[in-house]
Amino acid sequence: MQLKHFKYAFLLIILFILLSSSISAKEKNNLIIDFSERFRLVSWDNPITLDSSKEGGTTFTRNRTSLGLKWKFSKKAEIYFKATNEFRIYFNPDRDFNIHEIFVDNLYFKIHDIFSLPVTLTLGRQNIFLGEGFVMMDGGTYDGSRSIYFDAIRADVNLNDIGKLSVFSLYAQKTDELLPVINDREQRMNEHDIRGYGFYYQRNIDRNKLDLYFLNKKTDILDNKSWSLSVNTLGTKLSFRIKENLDLTTEGAIQNGSIDNNKIRTFGGHFHLDRNFANRTLKRVVIGGIYLAGINPGDKVLRGWEPPFSKWPKWSESYIYTLINEGGIANWNNISSVYISFMTRLFNKGYLHTTFNILGAPEKNLALDFPGGAGKYRGFLMINRMNFVISKNLTGHFLWEHFRPGNFYFNGAENYNWIRFELMYKTKTRRK
């Protein structure tokens, strides 16, 4: 769909919703105001190049402010608006300060029980997180943690005893051109404009959970549209209660499609076994694995996993930067992993999550510059994250990630360290 046509459809459906909701049973004005302020201090040495001589280290703050307003103007209809600003202050390297953009983070209309059916329709700019985020989470890879929205139409159908079905059509832009931006800096959201649609089905069966999904993703690789990508993802997620305090989750998906005239045939999946404890200190142990297929340079069929709408730090906040020179930030593919994670309580409302991760590559990478190695062992990644609660509205965490590269990388590839400190303040008030 061309951008101008998308805008027209967007406005027409908004008008339809406003008209339909105006004749719904009314209630007193119900206004919910939410506010959040997030402060982050981030520092790393050389996760992008694994070479300290290239002076890739940096230290900066991320300061994100969001203000949201939800107006329930009838028993079945609501509108939500959220504006956000995120600016950075750099200590190294030194950069001029700018307030950056104030943008529309969310703007959607939602109608429940539309036409007296068990259907909820959500139209507009919205966050869509499905399952564990393996295939659906982030609509803007290149803006970091600033936002995750999609411009989308979504219908959620309550099927009572047989589950819930979500059907959606979405649009994720290279830069935001749909809604106004204050102090526009042409913030890059994605490498290219992305269009997609799909369905996601969820059902609880006794103490087990089943997810089934299909996604289609299309994007023009070149601006003249002479080279494009189209990929379909069909997958399932199963969660089993083996016994009390012991759960197994498995998820896998196959992909087919094409990039220009090259076929795509690939697979990706992960699993984790979770054991919970009543112990005062040790609370949980997780053993897991990841497999995301890679491209064999000698194969005419492209077998590298293509993250549908999920280029985000699902497994590591730092390693997504090491992937930049392999195909883009958070471009998870050609990765295998086994890991073990421990969750321990340090103090009241303070928990430490420690993960030891052995990373591999299903296929060798023959690039001479980066990664530059001849093996399939990516390296050892250790993640330590301490979450803490200060008060009802104020939380925080401290994160340290350490990576030791293996023979997948060039001789002399160096370790890196990546740290982050965060404070998050959230509040919500209701007015009638």
User: Residues 123, 13: contact at Cβ < 8 Å?
Assistant: yes
CATH of the domain at 19: 2.40.160.100
Tens of pLDDT, residues 339-378: 999 999 999 999 999 999 999 999 998 777 899 999 999 9
CA distance 129 to 150: 10
Tens of pLDDT, residues 196-228: 999 999 999 888 999 999 999 999 876 666 568
Q: What single DSSP character describes residue 12?
A: H
Q: Which domain holds residue 229?
A: 3-431
Residue spans of alpha helices (H) in 205-323: 319-322
Q: Which two tokens mark 62?
A: 């991320």
Tens of pLDDT, residues 102-160: 999 999 999 999 888 999 999 999 999 999 999 999 999 999 999 999 999 999 999 98
Q: What is the pLDDT of residue 431?
A: 82
HSE at residue 299, side-chain half, CA atoms within 13 A, is: 14
Distance of CA 424 to the CA centre of its chain: 19
HSE at residue 345, side-chain half, CA atoms within 13 A, is: 12
Distance of CA 183 to the CA centre of its chain: 26
The total number of structural domains that make up the chain: 1
Q: Which two tokens mark 88?
A: 């950075």
- pLDDT confidence band for 291 (50 / 70 / 90): very high
Q: What is the pLDDT of residue 5?
A: 47
Tens of pLDDT, residues 395-429: 999 999 999 999 999 999 999 999 999 999 999 99
CA distance 121 to 123: 7
Tell me which H or E stretch contains 15.
Answer: helix 3-22
Q: What is the pLDDT of residue 28?
A: 56
User: Residues 140, 315: contact at Cβ < 8 Å?
Assistant: no
Arithmetic mean of pLDDT over the chain: 92
User: Residues 405, 414: contact at Cβ < 8 Å?
Assistant: yes
Contacts for 316 with CB less than 8 Å, ≥ 6 apart: 357, 381, 383, 401
Q: What single DSSP character describes residue 6?
A: H
